[in-house]
Structure 1
Amino acid sequence: MNNKSKQSASNQSRLEKALMINRGKITINRNGYVSLDLNSREVLSSIKSQIKKLEGIKI
């Protein structure tokens, strides 16, 4: 297995893990469009947490 194949397998593995962890919180359609379940408290909490981390960034 060459480096490109190993990297592809690793990327696929990470994607599969992320999809399993986030099952029910996200939807991915056939075109690759990702939708978040904004009715999920966990999703909203995660979004708020990420926004808070960005508050200190100065442009």
Structure 2
Amino acid sequence: MRGRALLGFTRHERAATAAAIVAALQGGYVLARAADSATPFEQAVEGILALLTAHTIH
């Protein structure tokens, strides 16, 4: 999958994508802690995976 993931993205786009992933994970973690539930974090992970899947050439 290494060769397929984010194919065609510029260096800037890859950096922006990485920053968005980190932000979503951190936000999901904070919300999960505040809610005392893993659900917000799980939703953040699922959302990230869905977005990455949509941008991956199969």
Same fold per superposition (TM over 0.5): no
Greater fraction of residues in helix: 2
Q: Which has the larger radius of gyration?
A: 1
Place the TM-score, normalised by the shorter chain, in its bin: 0.3 to 0.5
Greater fraction of residues in strand: 1
